[in-house]
Amino acid sequence: MIGSELSEVRQVSDAGLKSNRDRSDLDMKIILQQDVPNLGKMGELKDVAPGYARNHLLPRKMAVEATPQRMREWEKQQKKEEAINRQLEEEARQQAEKLSGQVLVFKMPAGEGGRLFGSVTSADVAEKLAENGIEADKKKIEFPEPIKSIGLHTASVRLHQGVTAELKIEVEKDEN
């Protein structure tokens, strides 16, 4: 009698394991309302375990359940964002064309051997670009190596995802 009970338990537990292996039909679709670490960014559509959604994401207003109506709204929003993103990318490409030919000239105090007292920073480059009518965030300006000497150097400016512009920086000795 005990052996038959064990085989029943084994059959039930095996059936449970089979359903756990194919969880895709058990997952809950959600739309993230804010960035969630290790899950995704705001506005993304995700499949998560129902318990995680009900007990963590939904009560904290980190996500909403993806109902058919919300899915339609989400798709409309995605199309709007895509159009805006294409426009921003086109503007960034035009700005990159403007920047690519530019040479920024800095006059800096220098010691013997052309070594600068200090260095040219990304903030200096952003300020010089602003003087020329081009807005660039200093965090998006990168140098292959720090600019600490007189001469011609290069910098890259990330204008948009996938759009970067290379510009030349000439550092001259300030005679004052």
Residue 137 has pLDDT above 60, yes or no: yes
pLDDT of 16 above 90: no
Model confidence at 13, pLDDT cuts 50, 70, 90, reads very low
Give me the residues paired with residue 169 across strands.
104, 153
* pLDDT for res 19: 47
Among 8-12, 55-59, 88-92, 114-118, name the most confident range.
55-59
Task: For 2-66, give the CATH class.
Answer: alpha beta
pTM: 0.59
Give the C-alpha separation, 60 to 57, whole Å: 5
- Confidence (pLDDT) at 84: 94
Give the percent of the chain with pLDDT over 90.
38
How distant, in Å, are the alpha carbons of 47, 70, 150 from that of 77?
A: 19, 10, 50
Give me the pLDDT at residue 80, please: 94
Which pLDDT score is estimated for 22? 52
For domain 93-173, the CATH superfamily is Ribosomal protein L9, C-terminal domain (3.10.430.100)
pLDDT at position 24 is: 59
d(CA 130, CA 99) in angstroms, rounded, equals 12
Condensed to tens digits (0 to 9), the pLDDT of residues 22-71 reads 555 679 999 999 999 999 999 999 999 999 999 999 999 999 999 999 99
Does residue 144 have a pLDDT over 50?
A: yes
**Domains of the chain, residue spans:** 2-66, 93-173
Note the pLDDT tens digit of each residue in 100-127: 878 889 998 888 888 888 888 889 999 9
Mean pLDDT of 72-90: 93
